[in-house]
Chain A
Amino acid sequence: DVKVTQSSRYLVKRTGEKVFLECVQDMDHENMFWYRQDPGLGLRLIYFSYDVKMKEKGDIPEGYSVSREKKERFSLILESASTNQTSMYLCASNPGGYYEQYFGPGTRLTVT
């Protein structure tokens, strides 16, 4: 079974803080993705990575950065958290050459 884990289920941070969201997958997948999910807007792709140290911007990268130093780990960084970044954050992965993605349980981030 593919397992994608995220470091926290719930997180509360203050405006201006630097926030790290961690994602780990145990299936040696090449590709990893970060999404945010908001009511009425669905899933929106923030960044994805198709190899270690490689990254591509998704549809809404502003205010975020990512890091992938090891194949199994993909981190999302909010450089200076703002209230409009309050959301559910979902990590996913898939093997190279395939499209079906496997999701983690999500992190519900609240920025106050």
Chain B
Amino acid sequence: QKEVEQDPGPLSVPEGAIVSLNCTYSNSAFQYFMWYRQYSRKGPELLMYTYSSGNKEDGRFTAQVDKSSKYISLFIRDSQPSDSATYLCAMAGGSTLGRLYFGRGTQLTVWP
């Protein structure tokens, strides 16, 4: 079993929809949780960063962490065609020497 599981999609939604992206993990030592966005033929860029459990909001994006269920989510409100990208979850904790454990990524398309 991989340490981080993420449904690869693809996910296709109309403009304006609310998008929910999710990951599950198995390592209870993980305490740092990130979401990266990767446009086609580009490197991933950090989108959201949360520590431990709870919610974090940044504009149209909300990240949620439920450590009791080992489950994290990214919500995108009022989705736009410019949100079309691959979204990767990543997490770390314990003595991992700064390395991250990534999900496989979910490919999202928002159509006008």
Contact = CB atoms under 8 A, between A and B. Distances in A.
Interface string A36-51: 0000111101001010
A61 interface: no
B32 to A, nearest CB: 5
Interface of A: 4, 30-31, 33, 40-43, 45, 48, 50, 56, 58, 90, 92, 94, 96-106, 108
9 contacts: A31-B98, A43-B105, A58-B99, A90-B43, A94-B98, A96-B98, A100-B32, A105-B43, A106-B41
A58 B102 CA distance: 13
Contact of B102 (A43, A50, A96, A104): A43
Contacts of B6: 42
Nearest to A44: B102
A105 B42 contact: yes
Given A101-B90, A105-B43, 10 more contacts: A30-B98, A31-B97, A33-B99, A42-B6, A48-B97, A48-B99, A58-B99, A98-B98, A102-B46, A106-B43
